[in-house]
Amino acid sequence: MTQSIETVIVGGGQAGLATSYFLTQRDREHVVLEQAAQVANAWRNDRWDSFTLLTPNWSFRLPGAEYNGAARDSFMPRDEIIARLERYVANFRLPVQCNTQVLSIEIKAGSDLYRLKTQAGDWQAKNVVVATGLFQKPKIPTFAPNLPGEIEQLHSGHYRNPAALPPGAVLVVGSAQSGCQIAEELYLSGRKVYLCTGGAGRVPRRYRGKDVFEWQFLSGFLDRTVDQLDSPRAKFAGNPHLSGRDGGRTLNLHQFARDGVILLGRLQDGSENKLYLAPDLKENLAKADAFEANMVKMIDSYIARAGLDAPPENLPALRDGFETRVITELDLYAQGITSIIWAMGYRFDFSLTRLPAFDGDGYPVQQRGVTAYPGLYFVGLPWLYKNKSGFLVGVGEDAEYIAGLI
């Protein structure tokens, strides 16, 4: 049996729920189909135990449920994020149907409707809003199965806490937000940590009296549109490392080195108990340093233009990482490494949408979420329209725009 409805939203994360909120406010018929057993699945099942928001609480701006508590500059723990999303569904009576995985989206033959196949039956709709995000498939190297079976391997989305890993040293592969936060938690717990670095940048947690995210918000940095990027692929760059732990703090690879973390270059290959690394550690450190320098320069310029009273500040100039010996071959057994955490991010996969609506990278061809196919929309993707399109602080703007078109 095929069910008919005006709009189907695919995905019950913040983007899908925000779109549902606006359609509900307009009394428009729709349903949210979520493949997991509960909403907020990524927050619930793909985050470690001590995870917090990386942006301050004030940036939690789901439409109709914006944060208004006293701890505006603190960082919400994972369980509170989940609870707020659950209350959002309940308070606004959003029509969410869980345990419903959409298998395909295609145009129904001989009509202007879309047909959605699910394991629980088919739907047809005039509009489809794809709100599945960019994080479908964990990135794990193809050579991972060739490594010793007794070494535990898991993606960062499956990491929970240091005690859940077997005793021994840990290799973390990836130095963007997740990798650096996990590496810090591990070495603070007493673990010996090896960290493969990449090109992700660094920003200070606070600078000249405000959180760096607030400076980005005030200056318009988060309102940059995708056409202002150096290249279309720049929208896939890893987010700069940062932490909301213990009230929020800066993460710095040079401090990691000072604290005993063994910094490595990019992981290139591996076989049996040997890993082979690029000799690019110093280059990666320089990139992180330059990213921070550019961010600070942008903030200083904004403060000067706006005539704000913000006392000057000089950030610590750490260089410990540059004194680290460059390692190009790592023996897992010799270093006592018993666990590898792949913190390399995710690959996106929109293959359920059976239409040629994607570019060479597999990213939707769209203008602010609107595709060339009438009634087919996307929300919740980083750089969908603006820098903040994938953040809790900005997803509501795109959701409102799409709901308005519907």
47-61 pLDDT tens trace: 999 999 999 999 999
Q: Which of 331, 400, 382, 367 is nearest to 169 (CA)?
A: 331
pLDDT at 280 over 90: yes
Between CA 203 and CA 209, with CA 208 as vertex, the angle to 5 degrees is 105
Contact (CB, 8 A) for 167 and 338: yes
| 230 CB-near residues (< 8 Å, 6+ apart) | none
CA atoms within 13 A on the CB side of 308: 17
Q: Residue 372 is encoded by which pair of tokens? A: 């060339």
SS3 letters for 245-277? Answer: HHHCECCCHHHHHHCCCEEECCEEEEECCEEEE
118 φ, ψ to 5°? -130, 165
User: Residues 52, 78: contact at Cβ < 8 Å?
Assistant: yes
**Is 63 within 8 Å of 396 (Cβ atoms)?**
yes
Order of strands across the sheet that contains 262-264: 152-155, 337-342, 169-173, 193-196, 262-264
| Whole-number Å distance between alpha carbons of 17 and 403 | 11
In tens, the pLDDT along 141-162 reads: 999 999 999 999 999 999 999 9
* pLDDT, tens digit, 9 for 90 and up, residues 177-201: 999 999 999 999 999 999 999 999 9
Q: Which two tokens stand for residue 165?
A: 């890993």
CA distance 198 to 202: 12
- Segment 201-260, tens digit of pLDDT: 999 999 999 999 999 999 999 999 988 888 877 777 778 889 999 999 999 999 999 999
- Look at residues 102, 87, 88, 144 and name the one whose alpha carbon lies nearest to residue 9: 102
The predicted model scores a pTM of 0.94
- pLDDT (mean) for 17-33: 98
Q: How confident is the model at residue 36 (pLDDT cuts 50, 70, 90)?
A: very high
pLDDT tens-digit series, residues 73-114: 999 999 999 999 999 999 999 999 999 999 999 999 889 999
Amino acid at 84: R
Q: Are the C-beta atoms of residues 215 and 176 closer than 8 Å to each other?
A: no
Q: 207 vs 119, which has greater pLDDT? A: 207
52-58 long-range Cβ contacts below 8 angstroms, 24+ apart: 52/76, 52/77, 52/78, 52/244, 52/245, 53/81, 53/244, 53/392, 54/177, 54/213, 54/239, 54/242, 54/243, 54/244, 55/213, 55/244, 55/391, 55/392, 55/393, 56/211, 56/213, 56/214, 56/248, 58/214
Is 85 within 8 Å of 70 (Cβ atoms)? no
Q: How many CB atoms lie within 10 A of CB 213?
A: 24
Q: Which domains does the chain have, with CATH numbers?
A: 2-136+348-405 (3.50.50.60), 138-345 (3.50.50.60)
The model's confidence at residue 136, banded by pLDDT at 50, 70 and 90, is confident
